[in-house]
Chains A and B, each alone.
Chain A
Amino acid sequence: MWTSEMTLMMWVGVKETLIMTLLSTIFGYLLGLPMGIALAVTDAGGIRPNVVVYKILDVIANIVRSIPFLILLMLLMPVTRVIVGKSYGTAATVVPLTIAAAPFIGRMIESSINEVDRGVIEAAQSMGASTMTIIIRVMLVEARTSILVGVTIALGTILGYSAMAGIVGGGGLGDIAMRYGYYRYEADIMIVAVVLLVVLVQIFQTLGMRMSVKLDRRKR
Protein backbone atom coordinates (compact mmCIF):
# COMPACT_ATOMS: atom_id res chain seq x y z
CA MET A 1 0.00 0.00 0.00
CA TRP A 2 1.22 3.45 -0.85
CA THR A 3 0.99 5.71 2.16
CA SER A 4 1.48 9.42 2.63
CA GLU A 5 4.59 8.57 4.67
CA MET A 6 6.08 7.01 1.58
CA THR A 7 5.33 10.11 -0.45
CA LEU A 8 7.04 12.18 2.20
CA MET A 9 9.99 9.80 2.19
CA MET A 10 10.28 10.14 -1.58
CA TRP A 11 10.11 13.92 -1.31
CA VAL A 12 12.92 13.91 1.25
CA GLY A 13 14.86 11.53 -1.00
CA VAL A 14 14.52 13.88 -3.97
CA LYS A 15 15.66 16.80 -1.84
CA GLU A 16 18.68 14.92 -0.48
CA THR A 17 19.68 13.73 -3.93
CA LEU A 18 19.41 17.25 -5.33
CA ILE A 19 21.44 18.70 -2.46
CA MET A 20 24.19 16.09 -2.82
CA THR A 21 24.33 16.43 -6.59
CA LEU A 22 24.24 20.20 -6.77
CA LEU A 23 26.68 20.80 -3.90
CA SER A 24 29.13 18.21 -5.24
CA THR A 25 28.90 19.67 -8.72
CA ILE A 26 29.56 23.19 -7.42
CA PHE A 27 32.52 22.09 -5.30
CA GLY A 28 33.63 19.80 -8.10
CA TYR A 29 33.81 22.78 -10.46
CA LEU A 30 35.60 24.90 -7.86
CA LEU A 31 38.38 22.31 -7.96
CA GLY A 32 37.97 20.97 -11.50
CA LEU A 33 37.75 24.27 -13.38
CA PRO A 34 41.18 25.56 -12.30
CA MET A 35 42.57 22.06 -12.77
CA GLY A 36 41.19 21.79 -16.31
CA ILE A 37 42.44 25.28 -17.19
CA ALA A 38 45.88 24.42 -15.82
CA LEU A 39 45.93 21.18 -17.81
CA ALA A 40 45.01 22.96 -21.05
CA VAL A 41 47.40 25.87 -20.53
CA THR A 42 50.46 23.87 -19.46
CA ASP A 43 50.02 21.21 -22.14
CA ALA A 44 52.85 20.99 -24.67
CA GLY A 45 50.66 22.80 -27.24
CA GLY A 46 49.18 25.23 -24.67
CA ILE A 47 49.91 28.91 -24.22
CA ARG A 48 52.20 28.30 -21.20
CA PRO A 49 53.73 24.87 -21.70
CA ASN A 50 55.05 23.40 -18.45
CA VAL A 51 55.87 19.70 -18.49
CA VAL A 52 56.17 19.35 -14.69
CA VAL A 53 52.85 20.95 -13.78
CA TYR A 54 51.06 19.16 -16.59
CA LYS A 55 52.47 15.76 -15.65
CA ILE A 56 51.58 16.15 -11.95
CA LEU A 57 47.97 17.13 -12.69
CA ASP A 58 47.73 14.46 -15.35
CA VAL A 59 48.81 11.72 -12.92
CA ILE A 60 46.50 12.97 -10.14
CA ALA A 61 43.55 13.01 -12.52
CA ASN A 62 44.29 9.51 -13.72
CA ILE A 63 44.76 8.05 -10.24
CA VAL A 64 41.55 9.49 -8.81
CA ARG A 65 39.57 8.56 -11.89
CA SER A 66 40.75 4.97 -11.82
CA ILE A 67 39.62 4.32 -8.22
CA PRO A 68 36.05 2.94 -8.19
CA PHE A 69 33.74 5.41 -6.44
CA LEU A 70 32.62 2.94 -3.80
CA ILE A 71 36.25 2.33 -2.78
CA LEU A 72 37.02 6.06 -2.84
CA LEU A 73 34.05 6.61 -0.55
CA MET A 74 35.54 4.21 2.02
CA LEU A 75 39.10 5.47 1.60
CA LEU A 76 38.07 9.07 2.18
CA MET A 77 36.11 8.41 5.36
CA PRO A 78 38.81 9.81 7.70
CA VAL A 79 39.11 12.91 5.52
CA THR A 80 35.35 13.32 5.49
CA ARG A 81 35.24 13.04 9.26
CA VAL A 82 37.77 15.88 9.55
CA ILE A 83 35.91 18.13 7.13
CA VAL A 84 32.25 17.44 7.97
CA GLY A 85 32.59 16.09 11.50
CA LYS A 86 31.03 12.72 10.74
CA SER A 87 31.50 10.06 8.10
CA TYR A 88 27.86 9.26 7.35
CA GLY A 89 24.82 11.20 6.17
CA THR A 90 24.07 13.47 3.23
CA ALA A 91 26.64 16.16 3.99
CA ALA A 92 29.36 13.55 4.44
CA THR A 93 28.69 12.16 0.97
CA VAL A 94 29.44 15.51 -0.63
CA VAL A 95 33.16 15.17 0.20
CA PRO A 96 33.93 11.94 -1.71
CA LEU A 97 31.54 12.99 -4.47
CA THR A 98 33.46 16.24 -4.92
CA ILE A 99 36.83 14.48 -4.90
CA ALA A 100 35.61 11.95 -7.44
CA ALA A 101 34.02 14.59 -9.66
CA ALA A 102 36.88 17.14 -9.73
CA PRO A 103 39.35 15.27 -11.99
CA PHE A 104 36.52 14.18 -14.25
CA ILE A 105 35.35 17.77 -14.51
CA GLY A 106 38.95 18.88 -15.01
CA ARG A 107 39.31 16.56 -18.00
CA MET A 108 36.11 17.86 -19.53
CA ILE A 109 37.21 21.48 -19.08
CA GLU A 110 40.59 20.62 -20.59
CA SER A 111 39.02 19.13 -23.68
CA SER A 112 36.52 22.01 -24.00
CA ILE A 113 39.38 24.53 -23.95
CA ASN A 114 41.46 22.49 -26.36
CA GLU A 115 38.59 22.74 -28.83
CA VAL A 116 38.94 26.54 -28.95
CA ASP A 117 40.35 27.69 -32.28
CA ARG A 118 44.11 28.16 -31.89
CA GLY A 119 43.93 31.11 -34.27
CA VAL A 120 41.64 33.13 -32.01
CA ILE A 121 44.07 32.64 -29.13
CA GLU A 122 46.93 33.67 -31.40
CA ALA A 123 44.98 36.79 -32.39
CA ALA A 124 44.60 37.73 -28.71
CA GLN A 125 48.32 37.12 -28.17
CA SER A 126 49.12 39.34 -31.14
CA MET A 127 47.16 42.15 -29.43
CA GLY A 128 49.34 41.81 -26.37
CA ALA A 129 46.74 40.16 -24.13
CA SER A 130 48.16 38.51 -21.00
CA THR A 131 47.82 34.81 -20.25
CA MET A 132 45.16 35.48 -17.62
CA THR A 133 43.18 37.68 -20.01
CA ILE A 134 43.36 35.02 -22.68
CA ILE A 135 42.08 32.37 -20.27
CA ILE A 136 39.18 34.46 -18.98
CA ARG A 137 38.26 36.53 -22.01
CA VAL A 138 39.02 34.15 -24.85
CA MET A 139 39.24 30.50 -23.80
CA LEU A 140 36.36 30.37 -21.33
CA VAL A 141 34.15 32.59 -23.51
CA GLU A 142 34.77 30.65 -26.71
CA ALA A 143 34.44 27.29 -24.93
CA ARG A 144 31.24 28.33 -23.15
CA THR A 145 28.88 26.07 -25.07
CA SER A 146 31.11 23.04 -24.71
CA ILE A 147 31.65 23.74 -20.99
CA LEU A 148 27.88 23.89 -20.42
CA VAL A 149 27.42 20.57 -22.16
CA GLY A 150 30.10 19.30 -19.76
CA VAL A 151 28.14 20.62 -16.76
CA THR A 152 25.12 18.66 -17.96
CA ILE A 153 27.16 15.48 -18.25
CA ALA A 154 28.77 16.10 -14.85
CA LEU A 155 25.37 16.54 -13.16
CA GLY A 156 24.13 13.26 -14.58
CA THR A 157 27.26 11.37 -13.59
CA ILE A 158 27.39 12.81 -10.07
CA LEU A 159 23.70 12.04 -9.60
CA GLY A 160 24.48 8.45 -10.53
CA TYR A 161 27.39 8.34 -8.05
CA SER A 162 25.23 9.85 -5.33
CA ALA A 163 22.96 6.81 -5.47
CA MET A 164 25.88 4.75 -4.17
CA ALA A 165 26.02 6.95 -1.11
CA GLY A 166 23.20 4.84 0.31
CA ILE A 167 25.95 2.46 1.43
CA VAL A 168 27.14 4.94 4.05
CA GLY A 169 23.65 6.10 4.94
CA GLY A 170 24.03 9.10 2.68
CA GLY A 171 20.35 9.38 2.02
CA GLY A 172 18.72 10.33 -1.24
CA LEU A 173 16.76 8.32 -3.79
CA GLY A 174 19.55 5.80 -4.30
CA ASP A 175 19.53 5.05 -0.59
CA ILE A 176 15.77 4.49 -0.63
CA ALA A 177 15.93 2.25 -3.69
CA MET A 178 18.66 0.17 -2.08
CA ARG A 179 17.08 -0.14 1.35
CA TYR A 180 13.59 -1.04 0.18
CA GLY A 181 14.34 -2.83 -3.05
CA TYR A 182 17.49 -4.73 -2.12
CA TYR A 183 17.18 -5.40 1.60
CA ARG A 184 13.39 -5.62 1.97
CA TYR A 185 12.26 -6.80 -1.44
CA GLU A 186 9.73 -3.98 -1.77
CA ALA A 187 10.06 -3.61 -5.51
CA ASP A 188 7.35 -0.98 -5.95
CA ILE A 189 9.16 1.54 -3.77
CA MET A 190 12.42 0.81 -5.56
CA ILE A 191 10.79 1.34 -8.93
CA VAL A 192 9.32 4.69 -7.87
CA ALA A 193 12.75 5.82 -6.59
CA VAL A 194 14.46 4.75 -9.81
CA VAL A 195 11.82 6.48 -11.94
CA LEU A 196 12.36 9.66 -9.94
CA LEU A 197 16.13 9.38 -10.55
CA VAL A 198 15.50 9.01 -14.27
CA VAL A 199 13.20 12.04 -14.25
CA LEU A 200 15.86 14.14 -12.46
CA VAL A 201 18.54 13.19 -14.99
CA GLN A 202 16.14 14.01 -17.82
CA ILE A 203 15.42 17.44 -16.36
CA PHE A 204 19.13 18.25 -15.93
CA GLN A 205 19.90 17.04 -19.42
CA THR A 206 17.13 19.02 -21.08
CA LEU A 207 17.80 22.22 -19.19
CA GLY A 208 21.56 22.00 -19.73
CA MET A 209 21.34 21.36 -23.45
CA ARG A 210 18.78 24.10 -23.91
CA MET A 211 20.95 26.60 -22.13
CA SER A 212 24.10 25.69 -24.06
CA VAL A 213 22.30 25.98 -27.40
CA LYS A 214 20.71 29.25 -26.37
CA LEU A 215 24.04 30.77 -25.37
CA ASP A 216 25.84 29.62 -28.53
CA ARG A 217 26.36 32.54 -30.92
CA ARG A 218 27.81 30.53 -33.74
CA LYS A 219 24.51 29.77 -35.43
CA ARG A 220 21.34 31.81 -35.77
Chain B
Amino acid sequence: MAGMIEVHNLSKTFATKDADVEALQDINLSIQEGDIYGIIGMSGAGKSTLVRCLNFLERPTAGTVEIEGKDLSTLSEKELRAKRAEIAMIFQHFNLLMQKNVIDNICFPLLYGGVGKKDGGRRGTLSKKDARKRAEELLEIVGMTEKKEAYPSQLSGGQKQRVAIARALAANPKILLCDEATSALDPQTTQSILQLLKQINKEYGITIVIITHEMSVVREICSHVAIIGEGHLVEQGKVADIFSHPKTKEAKELIVKGRGEERRTLESHQKDLMKGKCCIRIVFSVNSSFEPVIANMVLRFGQPINILRADTKNVEGIARGEMILSLPDDVQMQKDMKAYLTERGLAVEEVDGYVD
Protein backbone atom coordinates (compact mmCIF):
# COMPACT_ATOMS: atom_id res chain seq x y z
CA MET B 1 0.00 0.00 0.00
CA ALA B 2 1.28 3.41 -0.90
CA GLY B 3 1.95 5.51 2.16
CA MET B 4 1.18 9.09 3.04
CA ILE B 5 4.78 9.99 2.34
CA GLU B 6 6.85 7.92 -0.09
CA VAL B 7 10.49 8.78 -0.60
CA HIS B 8 12.34 6.95 -3.36
CA ASN B 9 16.09 6.98 -3.98
CA LEU B 10 16.38 10.50 -2.69
CA SER B 11 19.78 12.17 -2.82
CA LYS B 12 20.78 15.72 -2.04
CA THR B 13 24.10 17.27 -2.93
CA PHE B 14 25.17 20.75 -1.90
CA ALA B 15 27.66 22.49 -4.13
CA THR B 16 30.21 24.36 -2.05
CA LYS B 17 33.31 26.21 -3.18
CA ASP B 18 35.72 23.37 -2.56
CA ALA B 19 33.68 20.30 -3.37
CA ASP B 20 30.19 18.89 -3.65
CA VAL B 21 28.90 17.70 -0.31
CA GLU B 22 26.57 14.74 -0.42
CA ALA B 23 24.15 15.44 2.38
CA LEU B 24 21.81 12.55 1.61
CA GLN B 25 22.30 9.44 -0.47
CA ASP B 26 19.71 7.06 -1.79
CA ILE B 27 17.10 7.44 0.95
CA ASN B 28 13.95 5.33 0.76
CA LEU B 29 11.14 5.88 3.22
CA SER B 30 7.52 4.92 3.43
CA ILE B 31 5.46 6.68 6.05
CA GLN B 32 1.86 5.55 6.53
CA GLU B 33 -1.07 7.74 7.38
CA GLY B 34 -1.42 8.23 11.13
CA ASP B 35 2.15 7.17 11.93
CA ILE B 36 4.37 9.04 14.29
CA TYR B 37 7.60 8.53 12.43
CA GLY B 38 10.90 9.36 14.05
CA ILE B 39 13.99 10.19 12.02
CA ILE B 40 16.98 10.08 14.28
CA GLY B 41 20.67 10.63 13.78
CA MET B 42 23.67 12.36 15.20
CA SER B 43 24.02 16.04 14.34
CA GLY B 44 25.27 16.54 10.81
CA ALA B 45 23.78 13.26 9.65
CA GLY B 46 21.47 15.03 7.19
CA LYS B 47 18.15 14.65 8.96
CA SER B 48 17.24 18.34 8.78
CA THR B 49 17.93 18.31 5.04
CA LEU B 50 15.78 15.21 4.71
CA VAL B 51 12.78 16.79 6.44
CA ARG B 52 13.11 19.90 4.24
CA CYS B 53 13.01 17.65 1.18
CA LEU B 54 9.62 16.36 2.34
CA ASN B 55 7.99 19.74 1.66
CA PHE B 56 10.50 20.78 -1.01
CA LEU B 57 11.98 23.63 0.99
CA GLU B 58 15.05 21.84 -0.32
CA ARG B 59 14.76 20.32 -3.74
CA PRO B 60 16.33 16.87 -3.88
CA THR B 61 19.15 16.44 -6.38
CA ALA B 62 17.82 13.02 -7.35
CA GLY B 63 14.91 10.78 -6.45
CA THR B 64 11.27 11.53 -5.72
CA VAL B 65 9.07 12.59 -2.84
CA GLU B 66 5.43 11.61 -3.09
CA ILE B 67 2.78 13.00 -0.78
CA GLU B 68 -0.47 11.02 -1.04
CA GLY B 69 0.73 9.63 -4.33
CA LYS B 70 1.54 13.05 -5.78
CA ASP B 71 5.13 13.55 -6.91
CA LEU B 72 6.12 17.00 -5.61
CA SER B 73 8.58 17.63 -8.44
CA THR B 74 5.72 17.59 -10.98
CA LEU B 75 3.85 20.43 -9.24
CA SER B 76 3.91 24.03 -10.40
CA GLU B 77 5.07 26.73 -8.02
CA LYS B 78 1.50 27.56 -7.12
CA GLU B 79 0.40 23.95 -6.67
CA LEU B 80 3.44 23.34 -4.53
CA ARG B 81 2.50 26.24 -2.26
CA ALA B 82 -1.01 24.87 -1.91
CA LYS B 83 0.46 21.44 -1.10
CA ARG B 84 2.74 22.96 1.52
CA ALA B 85 -0.29 24.23 3.37
CA GLU B 86 -1.14 20.55 3.97
CA ILE B 87 2.34 19.86 5.32
CA ALA B 88 2.82 21.94 8.42
CA MET B 89 6.16 22.33 10.11
CA ILE B 90 7.44 23.26 13.56
CA PHE B 91 11.01 24.17 14.36
CA GLN B 92 13.67 24.00 17.05
CA HIS B 93 13.66 27.77 17.45
CA PHE B 94 9.89 28.13 17.01
CA ASN B 95 10.24 30.75 14.23
CA LEU B 96 7.32 32.90 15.29
CA LEU B 97 6.90 36.43 14.00
CA MET B 98 8.43 38.46 16.82
CA GLN B 99 6.55 41.64 15.88
CA LYS B 100 3.12 39.99 15.93
CA ASN B 101 1.16 38.77 18.91
CA VAL B 102 0.11 35.19 19.50
CA ILE B 103 -3.25 35.36 17.78
CA ASP B 104 -1.88 37.14 14.70
CA ASN B 105 0.85 34.54 14.44
CA ILE B 106 -1.73 31.76 14.37
CA CYS B 107 -3.85 33.65 11.85
CA PHE B 108 -0.87 33.99 9.50
CA PRO B 109 -1.23 30.69 7.60
CA LEU B 110 -4.99 31.18 7.41
CA LEU B 111 -4.70 34.61 5.83
CA TYR B 112 -1.45 34.44 3.92
CA GLY B 113 -0.51 30.76 3.58
CA GLY B 114 -1.03 28.55 0.54
CA VAL B 115 -4.74 28.27 1.32
CA GLY B 116 -5.10 31.78 2.64
CA LYS B 117 -7.30 34.59 1.49
CA LYS B 118 -4.69 36.77 -0.12
CA ASP B 119 -2.60 34.31 -2.01
CA GLY B 120 -1.19 36.32 -4.85
CA GLY B 121 -4.63 37.62 -5.75
CA ARG B 122 -6.44 34.31 -5.34
CA ARG B 123 -9.32 34.84 -2.95
CA GLY B 124 -10.17 32.14 -0.49
CA THR B 125 -13.16 31.98 1.78
CA LEU B 126 -11.66 32.85 5.12
CA SER B 127 -12.30 36.34 6.46
CA LYS B 128 -10.17 37.96 9.12
CA LYS B 129 -12.94 37.37 11.64
CA ASP B 130 -13.21 33.65 10.82
CA ALA B 131 -9.45 33.31 11.00
CA ARG B 132 -9.46 34.82 14.48
CA LYS B 133 -12.21 32.46 15.55
CA ARG B 134 -10.29 29.47 14.27
CA ALA B 135 -7.12 30.75 15.95
CA GLU B 136 -8.94 30.96 19.27
CA GLU B 137 -10.10 27.36 18.94
CA LEU B 138 -6.53 26.31 18.28
CA LEU B 139 -5.27 28.24 21.29
CA GLU B 140 -7.66 26.25 23.39
CA ILE B 141 -6.34 22.97 21.99
CA VAL B 142 -2.77 23.89 22.91
CA GLY B 143 -3.84 25.42 26.22
CA MET B 144 -2.70 28.98 25.59
CA THR B 145 -5.99 30.88 25.57
CA GLU B 146 -4.99 33.38 28.23
CA LYS B 147 -1.88 34.40 26.28
CA LYS B 148 -3.58 35.33 23.04
CA GLU B 149 -2.59 39.01 23.15
CA ALA B 150 0.98 38.34 24.30
CA TYR B 151 4.02 38.78 22.06
CA PRO B 152 6.45 35.87 21.56
CA SER B 153 9.20 37.64 23.52
CA GLN B 154 6.97 37.45 26.59
CA LEU B 155 6.58 33.67 26.37
CA SER B 156 8.74 30.79 27.57
CA GLY B 157 10.19 28.27 25.15
CA GLY B 158 7.48 25.70 25.78
CA GLN B 159 4.75 28.32 25.35
CA LYS B 160 6.30 29.47 22.08
CA GLN B 161 6.34 25.90 20.80
CA ARG B 162 2.67 25.54 21.75
CA VAL B 163 1.87 28.65 19.74
CA ALA B 164 3.94 27.29 16.86
CA ILE B 165 1.98 24.02 17.03
CA ALA B 166 -1.31 25.94 16.99
CA ARG B 167 -0.06 27.88 13.97
CA ALA B 168 0.96 24.65 12.27
CA LEU B 169 -2.48 23.13 12.83
CA ALA B 170 -4.35 26.21 11.62
CA ALA B 171 -4.62 25.18 7.99
CA ASN B 172 -5.79 21.64 8.85
CA PRO B 173 -2.65 19.90 7.66
CA LYS B 174 -2.45 16.18 6.97
CA ILE B 175 1.19 16.01 7.93
CA LEU B 176 3.17 17.71 10.68
CA LEU B 177 6.94 17.87 10.32
CA CYS B 178 8.84 18.53 13.54
CA ASP B 179 12.42 19.65 13.11
CA GLU B 180 14.15 19.16 16.47
CA ALA B 181 11.00 20.61 18.01
CA THR B 182 11.98 19.76 21.58
CA SER B 183 15.73 20.22 21.38
CA ALA B 184 15.67 23.74 22.81
CA LEU B 185 13.39 22.76 25.69
CA ASP B 186 14.02 21.39 29.16
CA PRO B 187 12.99 17.77 29.96
CA GLN B 188 9.65 18.61 31.60
CA THR B 189 8.60 20.94 28.80
CA THR B 190 9.75 18.35 26.26
CA GLN B 191 7.45 15.84 27.92
CA SER B 192 4.44 18.16 27.76
CA ILE B 193 5.08 19.06 24.11
CA LEU B 194 5.44 15.38 23.21
CA GLN B 195 2.17 14.59 24.97
CA LEU B 196 0.52 17.38 23.00
CA LEU B 197 1.86 15.96 19.72
CA LYS B 198 0.63 12.52 20.70
CA GLN B 199 -2.81 13.91 21.45
CA ILE B 200 -2.91 15.74 18.10
CA ASN B 201 -1.92 12.55 16.30
CA LYS B 202 -4.67 10.59 18.04
CA GLU B 203 -7.47 13.14 17.81
CA TYR B 204 -6.91 14.47 14.32
CA GLY B 205 -5.12 11.56 12.71
CA ILE B 206 -2.33 13.83 11.55
CA THR B 207 0.75 11.98 10.36
CA ILE B 208 3.73 13.26 12.32
CA VAL B 209 7.38 13.12 11.27
CA ILE B 210 9.79 13.87 14.08
CA ILE B 211 13.41 14.77 13.47
CA THR B 212 15.52 14.42 16.58
CA HIS B 213 18.86 13.41 17.95
CA GLU B 214 17.33 12.24 21.22
CA MET B 215 16.44 8.57 21.45
CA SER B 216 14.21 9.35 24.43
CA VAL B 217 11.92 11.37 22.13
CA VAL B 218 11.60 8.48 19.69
CA ARG B 219 10.97 6.02 22.49
CA GLU B 220 8.36 8.25 24.04
CA ILE B 221 6.01 8.76 21.12
CA CYS B 222 7.16 7.28 17.83
CA SER B 223 5.65 4.18 16.30
CA HIS B 224 8.33 3.85 13.63
CA VAL B 225 11.86 5.08 13.36
CA ALA B 226 14.50 5.56 10.70
CA ILE B 227 18.12 5.98 11.64
CA ILE B 228 20.25 8.26 9.52
CA GLY B 229 24.02 8.12 9.64
CA GLU B 230 26.25 10.26 7.44
CA GLY B 231 23.63 10.81 4.79
CA HIS B 232 22.53 7.18 4.59
CA LEU B 233 19.47 5.49 5.94
CA VAL B 234 21.05 2.74 8.03
CA GLU B 235 18.08 1.13 9.69
CA GLN B 236 14.34 1.56 9.85
CA GLY B 237 11.37 -0.21 11.34
CA LYS B 238 9.07 -0.32 14.32
CA VAL B 239 10.47 1.39 17.37
CA ALA B 240 9.91 -1.66 19.53
CA ASP B 241 11.83 -3.91 17.12
CA ILE B 242 14.76 -1.56 16.77
CA PHE B 243 14.97 -1.22 20.53
CA SER B 244 15.06 -4.93 21.13
CA HIS B 245 17.17 -5.89 18.10
CA PRO B 246 19.34 -3.01 16.96
CA LYS B 247 21.26 -4.34 13.97
CA THR B 248 23.63 -1.56 13.06
CA LYS B 249 26.38 0.21 14.95
CA GLU B 250 24.54 3.54 14.63
CA ALA B 251 21.37 2.15 16.16
CA LYS B 252 23.27 0.65 19.06
CA GLU B 253 25.14 3.87 19.65
CA LEU B 254 21.94 5.86 19.72
CA ILE B 255 20.29 3.44 22.12
CA VAL B 256 23.29 3.60 24.41
CA LYS B 257 23.34 7.37 24.13
CA GLY B 258 19.65 7.34 25.00
CA ARG B 259 20.58 5.68 28.25
CA GLY B 260 23.23 8.30 28.87
CA GLU B 261 20.59 10.94 28.60
CA GLU B 262 18.84 9.35 31.52
CA ARG B 263 22.06 9.25 33.49
CA ARG B 264 21.86 5.49 33.88
CA THR B 265 25.13 4.50 32.34
CA LEU B 266 27.03 1.60 33.72
CA GLU B 267 29.24 2.43 36.64
CA SER B 268 32.92 2.15 35.89
CA HIS B 269 33.40 -0.80 38.23
CA GLN B 270 30.69 -2.60 36.32
CA LYS B 271 32.59 -1.96 33.14
CA ASP B 272 35.67 -3.47 34.78
CA LEU B 273 33.64 -6.53 35.62
CA MET B 274 32.60 -6.87 32.01
CA LYS B 275 36.14 -6.81 30.67
CA GLY B 276 37.14 -10.16 29.29
CA LYS B 277 33.78 -11.59 30.24
CA CYS B 278 31.08 -12.72 27.92
CA CYS B 279 28.25 -10.31 28.48
CA ILE B 280 24.84 -10.31 26.91
CA ARG B 281 21.95 -7.93 26.84
CA ILE B 282 18.55 -9.52 26.98
CA VAL B 283 15.24 -7.84 26.42
CA PHE B 284 11.97 -9.08 27.88
CA SER B 285 8.88 -8.52 25.85
CA VAL B 286 5.38 -8.68 27.30
CA ASN B 287 4.84 -12.40 27.19
CA SER B 288 8.26 -13.35 28.49
CA SER B 289 7.83 -11.53 31.76
CA PHE B 290 5.65 -14.24 33.29
CA GLU B 291 8.19 -17.00 33.57
CA PRO B 292 11.11 -16.61 35.98
CA VAL B 293 13.54 -17.23 33.13
CA ILE B 294 16.80 -16.27 34.77
CA ALA B 295 16.10 -18.22 37.94
CA ASN B 296 15.09 -21.28 35.92
CA MET B 297 18.23 -21.01 33.82
CA VAL B 298 20.47 -20.85 36.89
CA LEU B 299 18.72 -23.94 38.33
CA ARG B 300 18.93 -25.81 35.08
CA PHE B 301 22.62 -25.17 34.34
CA GLY B 302 23.72 -25.04 37.95
CA GLN B 303 25.93 -22.05 37.19
CA PRO B 304 25.85 -18.60 38.81
CA ILE B 305 24.96 -15.67 36.63
CA ASN B 306 26.08 -12.17 37.39
CA ILE B 307 23.40 -9.57 36.75
CA LEU B 308 25.25 -6.36 35.92
CA ARG B 309 22.22 -4.27 35.30
CA ALA B 310 18.47 -4.56 35.15
CA ASP B 311 16.14 -1.92 33.96
CA THR B 312 12.70 -1.37 32.58
CA LYS B 313 11.91 1.03 29.84
CA ASN B 314 8.74 2.47 28.59
CA VAL B 315 8.61 1.83 24.87
CA GLU B 316 5.42 3.03 23.19
CA GLY B 317 3.63 2.79 26.49
CA ILE B 318 4.64 -0.85 27.07
CA ALA B 319 7.07 -1.72 29.81
CA ARG B 320 10.06 -3.61 28.53
CA GLY B 321 12.62 -5.21 30.75
CA GLU B 322 16.27 -5.18 29.90
CA MET B 323 19.17 -6.90 31.61
CA ILE B 324 22.87 -7.14 31.13
CA LEU B 325 24.23 -10.49 32.28
CA SER B 326 27.76 -11.71 32.67
CA LEU B 327 27.93 -15.40 31.69
CA PRO B 328 30.32 -18.08 32.98
CA ASP B 329 33.65 -18.43 31.13
CA ASP B 330 32.90 -21.86 29.66
CA VAL B 331 32.23 -21.25 25.97
CA GLN B 332 29.95 -24.26 25.52
CA MET B 333 27.97 -23.18 28.56
CA GLN B 334 27.62 -19.69 27.10
CA LYS B 335 26.25 -21.11 23.91
CA ASP B 336 23.76 -23.29 25.70
CA MET B 337 22.57 -20.43 27.87
CA LYS B 338 22.04 -18.14 24.92
CA ALA B 339 20.11 -20.86 23.15
CA TYR B 340 18.03 -21.41 26.27
CA LEU B 341 17.16 -17.71 26.50
CA THR B 342 16.41 -17.40 22.81
CA GLU B 343 14.14 -20.43 23.05
CA ARG B 344 12.10 -18.61 25.64
CA GLY B 345 11.46 -15.69 23.35
CA LEU B 346 14.04 -13.29 24.65
CA ALA B 347 16.16 -11.08 22.47
CA VAL B 348 19.78 -11.89 23.18
CA GLU B 349 22.71 -9.84 22.09
CA GLU B 350 26.40 -9.72 22.98
CA VAL B 351 27.37 -6.35 24.32
CA ASP B 352 31.03 -6.26 25.24
CA GLY B 353 31.73 -4.66 21.87
CA TYR B 354 30.20 -1.30 22.60
CA VAL B 355 30.02 -0.86 26.31
CA ASP B 356 33.67 0.01 26.61
Contact = CB atoms under 8 A, between A and B. Distances in A.
Given A117-B95, A127-B84, A141-B97, A218 B151 contact: yes
Residue among A133, A216, A220 having the largest count of chain B Cβ atoms under 10 Å: A133
B95 A119 contact: yes
A123 B287 CA distance: 46
Interface in A109-164: 117, 119-120, 122-130, 132-133, 137-138, 141-142, 144-145
Contacts of B97: 120, 138, 141-142
Contacts of A141: 97, 99-100
B81 A129 contact: yes
A144 B100 CA distance: 11
B93 A119 contact: yes
Contacts of A133: 112, 116, 118-120
A184 interface: no
A211 to B, nearest CB: 14
B314 interface: no
B87 interface: yes
B100 A217 contact: yes
Interface residues of B, number: 36
Interface in B96-111: 96-101, 108-109
**Most A Cβ at <10 Å: residue of B85, B98, B113, B116:** B98
A132 to B, nearest CB: 6
A216 B93 CA distance: 20
Interface in B167-184: 171, 177
A216 B55 CA distance: 32
Interface string B86-97: 011101010111
A128 B113 contact: yes
Contacts of B93: 117, 119
Nearest to B86: A128
Interface string A44-84: 00000000000000000000000000000000000000000
B115 interface: yes
Contact of A125 (B57, B99, B177): B57
Given A129-B113, A137-B112, A142 B120 contact: no
Contacts of A220: 151, 153-154
Contacts, number: 91
B83 interface: yes
A123 B89 contact: yes
Interface residues of A, number: 25
Contact of B120 (A117, A119, A130, A218): A130
Contacts of A124: 108, 112-113
Interface in B8-66: 55, 57
A126 B57 contact: yes
Given A133-B118, A138-B97, A218-B99, A126 B87 contact: yes
A128 B112 CA distance: 8
Contacts of A216: 99
A130 B84 CA distance: 11
B351 interface: no
Contacts of B88: 126-127
A126 B84 CA distance: 6
B57 A218 contact: no
A127 B171 contact: yes
B157 interface: no
Nearest to B113: A127
Contacts of A126: 55, 57, 84, 87-89, 177
A11 B109 CA distance: 52
A217 B55 contact: no
A122 B95 CA distance: 8
A137 B97 CA distance: 10
A120 B95 contact: yes
Contact of A217 (B57, B109, B153): B153
A113 to B, nearest CB: 13
B142 interface: no
B348 interface: no
Nearest to B111: A137
Contact of B84 (A120, A125, A142, A218): A125
A132 B118 CA distance: 10
A69 B270 CA distance: 79
A182 B344 CA distance: 105
Interface string A208-220: 0000000011111
The 10 A-B residue pairs whose C-beta atoms are closest, nearest first, are: A128-B114, A128-B84, A127-B113, A128-B81, A123-B95, A119-B95, A126-B89, A127-B109, A128-B85, A217-B151
Interface of A: 117, 119-120, 122-130, 132-133, 137-138, 141-142, 144-145, 216-220
17 contacts: A119-B93, A124-B113, A127-B84, A127-B88, A127-B109, A127-B113, A127-B114, A128-B114, A129-B113, A141-B100, A142-B97, A144-B99, A145-B99, A216-B99, A217-B151, A219-B153, A220-B151
Given A127-B84, A127-B171, 15 more contacts: A117-B93, A117-B95, A119-B95, A126-B87, A127-B114, A128-B114, A130-B119, A132-B120, A133-B119, A137-B108, A142-B99, A145-B99, A217-B151, A218-B98, A218-B99
